Structure 1
Amino acid sequence: MTQPVINTKYNFINKIKYLDNGGGGICIILFYTKMEKNIMTSLNNTSLTNNNNGIDTTSHYNIEHTVNEYKNKWNLYESFRCILVEYINKLLDQVIKENKVKLDKNAIEIKSRTKTIDSFKGKISRDDKKSKYKNPLDEITDLVGVKILLTSLKDENILYELLKIELKDNIDWENSIDKTQDIKKERKFGYLGRHLVISYDDKMLKLIENSDKYDSKDFTNFKAEIQIKTLLQHVWAEVEHKARYKAGEELDDDKKRYFDRLAALIEVADDLFKDLVEETEKINKKSRKRIDKEQDEINEQDDMQKEPKIFISSKNIAFYLANEKVKEKFKKLNKENILYVLYDEEPSLISMNFIELLKIINIQYTKDLNTLFNDENKKILYAYAQEILSIDGSPSRLPKLSIMQILAYAKANQEQKEKIKEKKLIFERTCRIIDKLIKGENNE
């Protein structure tokens, strides 16, 4: 009998020759022939092989074809990402300006990404996804992703409700997630972020600039996932994702308990920060009201004695500068063709250097800021502006904080002036000019 020939592709006996003329030989040949046929049939029908075109028959789609389709459309998805981010930014600017919501735009961070081609391929190649999706490009909801990070739970709730209203006709609720409700129902601790899956809408183009460079037809049926979360939730989600799920191991009960304890701490911290924000808002409201009252000269002699003074701080100075009567003080400092005060513009930042400057000249309370506007200081301010005009050939246009710096330095005694210059709390040229002007007056 010759040795069987082994087919390496299928790893079974492909052909048998048996030279014995006995009936047993025929039976053996028939046996292997039938086995070969059964194996071939089994291999052709099983879901564990590829067909002759190289298509993975365990999925509903051709992976390579789908990846190429996404690759060809990737620039459109990237354009959709840009549109969505700009739309959210413009929407926030609009509602904040119209006082529809109380949010600090500077405290909001927006991150975004379009899923890379490699990431897309990896996702649709996973066994659980191959059996789930029929058309990945239509069914995957986070090809475009936006994360909106906020400082407090209160801000998160405000923004979540805002987007629910603005995008109510475009939300895919079946795929949107509110982990806050899920966790509470299960009486557990964990990630509390909220995800909204939204579809493209033409109104997005109407709100952004340079919208004419886009064709709305390109984005039909495009979806994106918007994640709204606090910074602490974002940190927790990143840690949990990388340490708990990316590790690829089944966690034992002790490790799971550690994660639950960490999640509880994060949630408590978020709640405490929310309380801190709310308490700060109450204090700020009270301070603003008190500062407004300080500027009311009618009440100054009676009621002002009974209430505590307001300490200077960046926030309280901002309240002071925003007061209408204080604005009027700055407005009166205008001197045509010499000095123009930007009395109606509010500073974006009041630095610690400015606070330190005021403390050096013994200004501790917002009420004491009014002492800067005495006649002697005004005289030096106008002389300074005249000197700048002779040097630069144009009148000074100064914001309120710059005016206050000049008035504060003019008020300082010699020892205080030296400390201010040593700490470089005011522009060196400003100090030099004022010193020269005061010296000139003293010589006279």
Structure 2
Amino acid sequence: MDKTLNLEVIKFRYPDVSRLYEKLGSKVTDIIRSMISTEGVKSHAIYHRVKELKSLIDKIESKDKYSKLEDITDLCGVRIITYLASDVDSIVKIIRDKFVIDEINSIDKRKKDAKEFGYKSVHLVVSLPDNWIGSPIDQELKGLKVELQIRSILEHAWAEIEHDLGYKSDSAVPYPLQRGFTRLAANLESADFEFDRLKNMKKEYEQEVVDSIDPTSVVPVSVNPISLSVFANSNSTFNEIRDELTKERGMKYARGNKNFDKIIEKLSYLKINTINELEVVINANKEPFKRFVRLLFERRKDSREVILHESPLEYLLHYIAASKGREYLNKYKVYGTNSPEGNVKEITDFLDLYRDAHSNN
């Protein structure tokens, strides 16, 4: 080992060094989380760690190649766990576009032999660009390196289990265990591939829904959670309603995580089975329906600040039910629930709204 790297000096210095790298790791984690969110890429988790002193000493003693502490590029590590394998490439591109990359110490461990299975992850050693270090307090971070590990959630599961079982060296593991680990790695890689394939199939179906939503279409689009989500987000009248509520009432627009089960139950009661039928109703009642929603918010006593992308769809169902009269409306409110009040919680009378919306014609 190079004598210029004195272990006693490192032991004395490392508490201050680790605090510096903790600051760097926190900053890099926040930056990456913000960047990928802005680009619309989802992550399961992003977190950082600073190498513990014992682990550092073990590394220095086992690898006779370090002349100074800065040669060790993983003193700080940030782990980025994605849901899908394809998201890894998206995040790698974002990072390569923004950070300074140490290519010599970076490696893509996904590029294995075609017959080899096992740990796959992208390791990028990065530092902050100089123009990101504007504050004097951050000058101490200049030139410091962080190792980023980017991998899918299934790869993360593999790595954690592999580590827990102590599977690190082929020569130390009996053949049956080696084969078992290899089978498991192959299955996980297949699962990653299948999740990406399902994601692409979902995108293709969503585009088919968009292309097929037309009152004159000979191929009706059935009601299901995916088609309803696409319709709720893409319909022009719904978008006009959202724009009016966000601009005139200062409400924020948000994409909800609704499973649409209750909406589907209400549609069943309204005897609406296709997206195309909903489109016909909107096209025939566009202006009174918009007035219906406008009056709804004028007469509400609450102070809600957010409108979800599926909310205009729910308002449309209320409008349709109100168009059929009081008895039908009351049954609509309780349909599909065990509650005598139903699951439509609204202090405003939809029947009055419907009548007033049409009286302005």
The answer as to 2:320 corresponding to 1:411 is yes
Q: Which residue of 2 aligns with 1:43?
A: none
1:172 is the counterpart of 2:102: yes
CA distance in 2 between partners of 1:357 and 1:204 (Å): 52
Q: 2:113 aligns with which of 161, 184, 199?
A: 184
Q: Percent identity?
A: 22
> Quick check: 1:178–1:193 contact (8 Å CA) kept in 2?
yes
Structure 2 residues without counterparts, runs of 5 or longer:
322-327, 357-361
TM alignment of 1:205-224, pairs within 5 A: 205=133, 212=135, 214-216=137-139, 218-224=140-146
Q: In structure 2, do the counterparts of structure 1 residues 409 and 288 end up closer, same or farther at CA, with 3 Å as the change threshold? A: same
What SS does structure 2 have at the residue aligned with 1:433?
coil
2:258 and 2:5 map into 1 onto residues whose CA distance is 59
- The Cα of 1:121 is off from its aligned counterpart by 2.5
Residue 253 of structure 2 contacts residue 306 of structure 2 at CA under 8 Å; is this kept in 1? no
Normalising by the residue count of structure 2, what TM-score does the alignment of the two structures yield? 0.78
Structure 1 residues 201-240: aligned runs within 5 Å: 201-205=129-133, 212=135, 214-216=137-139, 218-240=140-162
Map of 1:153 onto structure 2: 85
Contact 1:87 1:204 in 2 (8 A): no
Seen in structure 2, the aligned counterparts of structure 1 residues 127 and 330 have a Cα distance that, compared at 3 Å, is: closer
Deviation at 1:252, TM superposition (A): 1.0
Report 1:367-406 matches (<5 A).
367-370=276-279, 371=281, 374=285, 381=293, 384-385=296-297, 387-388=299-300, 391=301, 401-406=310-315
C-alpha change, 1:161 and 1:378, in structure 2 (3 Å) is closer
User: Which one-letter code corresponds to 1:112 in the other structure?
Assistant: Y
- Which deviations, in whole Å up to 9, do the C-alpha atoms of 1:136-177 show, x marking residues without a partner? x2122112111222222222223223433433xx32223222
Pick 1 or 2: higher relative contact order, CA cutoff 8 A, min separation 6.
2
- TM-superposed CA distance for 1:367, in Å, is 2.0
- Pick one of 311, 324, 348 that aligns with 1:433: 348
The equivalent of 1:358 in structure 2 is 267
Superposition pairs of residues 37-52 of structure 1, within 5 angstroms: none
Equivalent residue for 2:124?
196
Query: By how many angstroms is 1:313 displaced?
Result: 3.8
Partner Cα distance (1:398, 1:172) in 2: 45
User: Does 1:323 pair with 2:267?
Assistant: no
Deviations 1:252-302 (A, max 9, x none): 1111111111111111111222222222222222222223xx2xxxxx44x
2:95 paired residue among 141, 163, 177: 163
Q: Deviations over 1:368-400 (max 9, x none)?
A: 323267488677656644543xx56x8999666
Contact kept in structure 2, 1:114 and 1:145, CA below 8 Å? yes
- With over 3 angstroms needed to count, the CA separation of the structure-2 counterparts of 1:361 and 1:245, relative to structure 1, is same
Q: Give the counterpart letter for 1:143 in structure 2.
A: L
Alpha-carbon distance between aligned partners in 2 of 1:276 and 1:385, rounded to the nearest angstrom: 39
Cα distance change of structure 1 residues 326 and 158 upon mapping to structure 2, 3 Å threshold: same
Task: Tell me, in whole angstroms, the C-alpha distance in 2 between the residues paired with 1:376 and 1:279.
Answer: 37
1:380–1:154 CA distance, 2 compared to 1 (3 A) = closer
The aligned length equals 343
Deviations 1:151-208 (A, max 9, x none): 22222223223433433xx322232221122x226x2111121111112322444xxx
* Contact map agreement 1:380 1:437 (CA 8 A) in 2: no
Deviation at 1:82, TM superposition (A): 2.1
Structure 1, unaligned runs of 5 or more: 1-56, 97-103, 206-210, 295-299
Please name the residue that 1:61 is paired with. Answer: 5
Partners of 1:350 and 1:265 lie apart in 2 by 32
Report deviation, 1:120: 2.5
What secondary structure, in the 3-state scheme, does the structure 2 residue paired with 1:228 have? Answer: strand
Please, what TM-score do these two structures have when normalized by structure 1? 0.65
- Are residues 225 and 126 of structure 1, via their aligned partners in 2, closer, same or farther at CA, if it must alter by over 3 Å? closer
Contact 1:148 1:228 in 2 (8 A): yes
Shift of 1:224: 0.8
1:434 partner letter: D
